[in-house]
Amino acid sequence: MARNGMYLPVIPVLQLRQSRRRIGAGPAVLAGLFLAVGLPLLSAQSLLDTETKELLVAAVEAAVELDLYNARCRRDRSGRHVDNLNKELVSKLRMTVLQVEDELFPERSYRRVQKRLQRESLARLKQAGGCEEAKKAGTPNRLRVRYGELMGKIDRLP
């Protein structure tokens, strides 16, 4: 009984009928298994030539460096350059920035790549004398031009 003296409704439980068909590994199941196992062997890395791999690595480095500069010196934490690169990579090559970091960078780990890129970017900023000196030296424009050139090359990929 419920608190106010009323009975709770009884909800019937449906029992599923068990199939009498014998469950086994049919050809469709085996084919799906072979496809699933074979997919990692055909990663994006194996389908790209060396020049394209280098282009993707450079583009990720440029986008990350530009976003890190904007986050540190302009208080712009949007990460829009990495996001735009990610959109371009997904539409063009069906891969993401994280896949590039995992498969094409020497570290083979996106977390280690991101830590290294952040460390290197901060070291360059410190070497330039901080945000104000980097701005006077034209660092933001240089980063934007490099990023734009690499995005243009990716856009022209077949």
Q: Is the pTM of this model over 0.85?
A: no
Contact between residue 43 and residue 96 where contact means Cβ atoms under 8 Å apart: no
Token pair listed for 71: 């986050």
Above 80 in pLDDT, residue 72? yes
What would the pLDDT profile of 33-60 be if each residue is shown by its tens digit?
445 444 444 455 567 889 999 999 999 9
Half-sphere exposure of 1 (CA within 13 A, CB side): 4
Can you give the length of the chain in residues?
158
